[in-house]
Structure 1
Amino acid sequence: MLSRILEAALLAADQPLGADRLLALFADAERPTRDEVHAALEALRGDCAQRAIELVEVAGGFRFQVRREFAERVSRLWEERPPRYSRALLETLALIVYRQPITRGEIEDIRGVGVSSSITKTLQEREWIRIVGHREVPGRPAMYGTTRRFLDDFNLKGLDELPTLAELRDLLQINAELPLGDAPDPGGDAAAVRGESPEDESPEDESPEDESPEDESPEDESPEDESPEDESPEDESPEDESGVAPGHNPPNDAGDESGEEPSDVPAPALAGADRG
């Protein structure tokens, strides 16, 4: 009976439940011990071994979720696309995760570029980071750290379950070797979701290809170019004046505040879809 009560509570809850909240389901006279609750949860975990759902423990407690191998099919029940985040946002999150507590200025020193306020705002709205204090230096800048919601969303019980930096380097090396150059652009709407801001662009972000000195070479001003044949309407077309070949669209750098290509990496997928 204890296992059934716990199963019903976990299925009905919209968030993970810890042992204390599960114990609160019972009156004082019938309340089980904490060890009995954990034993019942382990029994439930074993019952799910051959099912499409699993019982997992994260930082917030216990929850049922769809197994990873079925997550893609189940996600088709929802029409909205998963959010995609820029490389700048993911790098900022990674620095907060591994260097917390850390200030915005320290993040900028490590990355070598400014951190858009929209990036920290997006991470706070997702409840992945929070202000954990202030550095005792002039100006007392805010220090950021991760939240329990971050651990729950990334299917972690604690920060000690994060991959090591050496493992991350291996993953980055693998990603660098993948043919991601032809990945589709997520589009303008995704740029807003990623938390990018055009105002954070640096002059270095402008591609020198658009201002190539080849378009202003002396050869274009030679006497031969001033002949009547060269003054035909065809030679004065907008394509020739722009320095861009017909049919070629110049690159647009307004979408990425760090000057980096937008990451086509989706928001970190959970180990499975949360039943809650």
Structure 2
Amino acid sequence: MSVSRDIKIIEAILFASNEPVHEDDLKGKMLNKNNFQNDIKNLQNFYLERGINLIKTGKKWSFRTSEKIKDELIIFKSQKRKISRAALETLAIIAYQQPITRSEIENIRGVQMGRGSIDHLMEIGWIKPSGRKNVPGKPALWITTDLFIEHFSINSISDLPNKDELKASGFLEKRSAIATITDIANEEITSNENIIDEEENLDDFLSNKEI
């Protein structure tokens, strides 16, 4: 691989950063900004079979430990944090319907929600407010964050499975749409709220994912 000045700059910035760097910030340091995609691809290929890999999350880039050796580097085991079923359902709805208000989330779930679910998801860093809806009362709109995308190892929200993909995988057979997505998250569930029928909620819940 030919190592140009721009590639060296991109590499140095990513090594020095303790969090993913937006590609616009990387381009801002380059002499030949139009060659960014080619340079970043060359750098990504260079690290493809090494101990660290260059990973893209949304429009941000970062170096990560290779999946092939990550288990060898574990020193401390993280303690799992319990997330309630209500919080997971709320997260799934926001992921598929964003931007969305709290009242709209309640309409989809069919029950009123306490403040705890939103607060917990914000504390984890998976959701954030994104302006207000232009309706009476100006309710806050909620969206997922880059940390959500990073945690679930997807490139963008569009990579979430749609209804047909979930059905093909067998996830939606005799199960509610919301329960399906929360189970995919593979987190511990601590509450026993009633689950609404798939036929009543599937189309609303996954409307943004229809093809």
State TM-score, norm by structure 2. Answer: 0.68
Distance of 1:258 and 1:67 partners within structure 2: 39
Partner of 1:56, secondary structure, is: strand
Name the CA distance, whole Å, in 2 between partners of 1:258 and 1:97. 20
Match of 1:68, SS state, is: coil
3-state SS of 2:54 partner:
strand
Once residues 79 and 62 of structure 2 are traced to their aligned partners in structure 1, the CA distance between those partners, rounded to angstroms, is: 24
Q: Does 1:172 align with 2:171?
A: yes
**Residue pair 1:60, 1:152 contacting (<8 A) in 2 also:** no
> How many Å separate the matches in 1 of 2:65 and 2:21?
17
Tell me the C-alpha RMSD between the 2 structures. 3.0
Any runs of at least 4 consecutive aligned residues in structure 1 with deviations exceeding 6 A, and if so which? none
Unaligned runs of 5+ in 1: 26-30, 177-189, 195-254, 261-276
Matched position secondary structure for 2:21: coil
Structure 1 length-normalised TM: 0.54
**Distance in 1 (alpha carbons) for counterparts of 2:24 and 2:104:** 38
Q: State how far apart, in whole Å, the 2-side matches of 1:86 and 1:168 are.
A: 23
* Alignment gaps of 5+ in structure 2: 176-186, 196-211
- Which residue of the partner structure matches residue 124 of structure 1? 122
2: CA distance, partners of 1:86 / 1:53: 34
The CA deviation at 1:56 is 1.8
State the secondary structure of the residue aligned to 1:5. Answer: helix
Structure with bigger RCO (C-alpha 8 Å, 6+ apart): 1
Q: Distance in 2 between matches of 1:172 and 1:115?
A: 25
How does 1:81-230 map onto structure 2 within 5 Å?
81-169=79-167, 170=169, 172-173=171-172
Residue type of the partner of 2:46?
A: D
Aligned to 1:248: none
Find the counterpart in structure 2 of residue 22 from structure 1: 26
Question: Which segment drifts farther, 145-154 or 108-117?
Answer: 145-154
Deviation of the 1:24 alpha carbon: 4.3
- The secondary structure found in structure 2 opposite 1:91 is helix
Alignment match, 2:65:
66
Percent of aligned pairs sharing the same letter: 30
Question: Distance in 2 between the 1:163 and 1:72 partners?
Answer: 28
Query: What is the rounded CA distance, in whole Å, between the counterparts of 1:132 and 1:14 in structure 2?
Result: 25
Q: 1:119 to 1:73 in 2, by over 3 A?
A: farther
